[in-house]
A and B are shown apart, each in its own frame.
Chain A
Amino acid sequence: MGFPHKPHPKETVVLSKYFGEADARTLKGWKKRGGYEMLEKALAMEPTAVIEEVKASGLRGRGGAGFPTGLKWSFMPKEKKKTHYLCVNADESEPGTFKDREIMRWTPHALLEGTAIAAHAIRADVAYIYIRGEFTEPWAIMEKALAEANDAKLFGSIKIYLHRGAGAYICGEETAMMSSIEGKRGNPRIKPPFPAAAGVFGLPTTINNVETLVAVPHILKHGAAWYQKMSLSNPKSTGTKLFSVCGHIAKPGNYEVTLGFPLKDLLYDLAGGMPPGRTLKACIPGGSSVPILNREESESTLLDYEGCVEKGTMLGSGGVIVFDDSADMVYQIMRLARFYAHESCAQCTQCREGTAWTVKIMERILAGQGKTSDLDLLLDLSDNMTAKTICVLSDSCAAPVISGIKKFRGEFEAYIAGKKRSEAA
């Protein structure tokens, strides 16, 4: 349910139930809504039992990669010899995504509760909640909630700290986030070693997304079977997911639906369809890093991990960016590439040079100075930027370029043929 929208009958409101209720932000208000009961329950459970329950639920990471959460937790050392860390990824910076922000704004205690349960499950002594630097309001709300919860001594021996990012998109990449928490430049690290073996400060670490963790208390409350049953299409995709819908859309906002929900219904029913007189041209369903869908694909996509892959894209973070028929796809793709060129950490050659070169070629095309061969060049560069670097920022820049040229080649060709010229570039 996307504040300030009323819940739509087709929504399955679990995580977003208290969005818009300021009272839910306080400890008292949260407890009144059943808050922290599941933490109490979890702390009385064996950590492995919590992991098994989450494993059975089918919960998968909501940050973008969709890795099974329980399985990830089980990678932590069986025998605890050193300090364990939990890092909560609240550095939500993926263009088009704004679900974690709303979770923190309205239900900060839900995140703290999920965090403490996860920390218990992986036997973490310390949890860092890494909050995006620009999130001033969520930061203030989280700070207040944490202080209240700490005063009430809710977390036992688990220490929870808030860590504020400094505005780098790349710090949302889990290994870059660990570098950043350590006080270093937020550069992604090569894997192996994987975080569960050597993470933050070289110690066993698990990184989870905000939305993933707020689902955990619900799983404990209603049981893994209940969660697993929430699946409209593929049984490997379970539970509810918040989709942030933005762009050319009548009612932008967050919508919570069961996985497997048709993208078409999300766009036309829940989010109110296109602006008056407009038709759908394209849609990016999982944040700016995933391939673009054209209208036909968008209208037949089922929103779960497998359904998106089937259409050649990814569920990603659930940031749905909508383009109507007025959109200049060449310009839009250039803007995306410019974002990645700006945010590249500069470690890997392909990303550092490739993202910027992509922008230059796109700008040249927009300025009416493109050549026919530029499209093949862009595709070749994008191919050279895919699956060859430490993290996937480079791939993320390539994805919209490749899919954009494939699906909207005519728009590129119009610029190259001199039929169109952008003032904006």
Chain B
Amino acid sequence: MKLSGAQIFIECLKREGVEIIFGYPGGQVLPIFDKLYDAKLKFILTRHEQGAAHAADGYARATGKVGVCLATSGPGATNLITGIATAYMDSIPMVAFTGQVKTNLIGNDAFQEADLTGITRPITKHNFLVKRTEDLAQVIREAFYIASTGRPGPVLVDIPSDVQIKEAEFIWPEKITIRSYNPNYFGHPGQIKKAAKLIEKAKKPIIYAGGGIIISQAEKELKILAEKIQSPVTTTLMGLGGFDETHPLSLKMLGMHGTAYANHAIMEADCIIAIGARFDDRVTGRTDTFAPYAKIIHIDIDPTSISKNIRVDIPVVGDAKNVLRELVEFITKKPDTREWLKTISEWKARHPLKYRKTDGIKPQFIIEEINRQTHGDAIICTEVGQHQMWAAQWYKYTKPRTFISSGGLGTMGYGMPAAIGAQLGCPKKTVFNIAGDGSIQMNIQEMMTAVVNKLPIKIAILNNCYLGMVRQWQELFYKKRYSQTPLCNPDFVKLAQSFGAIGMKITRKSDVKQAIKKALSIKDKPVMIDFRVEREENVYPMVPAGEPINKMISGLA
């Protein structure tokens, strides 16, 4: 059967099980958009290509499926870049399609030409420039396979417009094998046995779990391991929801803004079981002082993550779910951790997360109230900054895929489009975007996308009229010289209304509960709440950059 490149594109996406494409049309993708006109594929028109990339990413994080976005050549494609880099840093399965100028014009500085495979090489897991229509089906198949297997990541497929028009025999490759790409899903049994022996002898174990738990759907296996060896569990920002934070063994998040008890515990531990985490600098603090007494077991599907920042004693390359299953089997003697758990409960009692209650609206209180009213069951998307850390600290995450945030790249403007992707992927869930007044303005145009698609996203702006996190650093480390951090903002209520959404402004603490209740009752459009919070509230605890991870500023001491 002969099909045009554009028809092959549609046919391949259907066979890959794609439900939604996020994107924006343009000159070099006209043939594809023409075929999309009749295709039974849901297309979400964002208002900016960056929004399309983040929405595809948010959809992928909320559902576990591959997110798909589509943009034209040149500026359309370069607008995807921040979204692709965001997905790359957080290992999110995504396939980004871009139009390209005709093959005979490539390299000629043609109108709306940019070398997208060149630009995206360091921020994609892999990328392709398709030069022949005959290759298109094979490339798309490989792109989805690479994006979703091993350590997932974004893959870019650049398709010149003549390749979309030309016809070729459509051959769907049923099976895909790439000789140079064979992810290791099962850990080496010898290494897993060694890990089991080390755990059996541990007195002060700690499980340090990252986003790999969520990607590999290993939350049950993680719980079984933790309960079997009675080890406390701390998660990274990306790992939030991978372990139930209401479980007695949970230490919540560790790192720069983690709980004091998680940071003390990892520094005092004699055995760290790292799973699907990468010892990021926001977690380790100063590396030469990190966890001085611990032997480290590191389970990760990506060998380059192992011994990159911190020297590891027992590396296990494999998929978290498979490795954890085997590890639990190999552990025959349970370590005695009673003393250790006693110490930890003392830390928990002595250094709980806290904030000073006043008459003003505390941002932490808003998150607590959202948690209470949604019973910890909402999907919480965030932008980047103070509000992101408060959302991480004060909401109680109990299930995977409920915290959606740009962890690695730290992309302001991520949350609004990500919430759109999450809500479309999970229509029955309550989706919040916890935002700052700075971040929300970075992709505010996507309010229109949410309104058009009748998405009942709740946007809670923790508005302090500052770029709060930068201001906090300026307060603590730059003598309160607030260089370019005070913000002049639009009237968010009118802004929301102009998009056709509901806007609320809350200035009194006593109105917070009612506002959230009202927002939750609206089911057919977005609600934006402008919470006027105490302006100079800081995120604590905090570990200053470059300090050991247990040297925290508490703010309340």
A and B associate in one complex: no
Residues of A at under 8 Å CB distance from B?
Answer: none
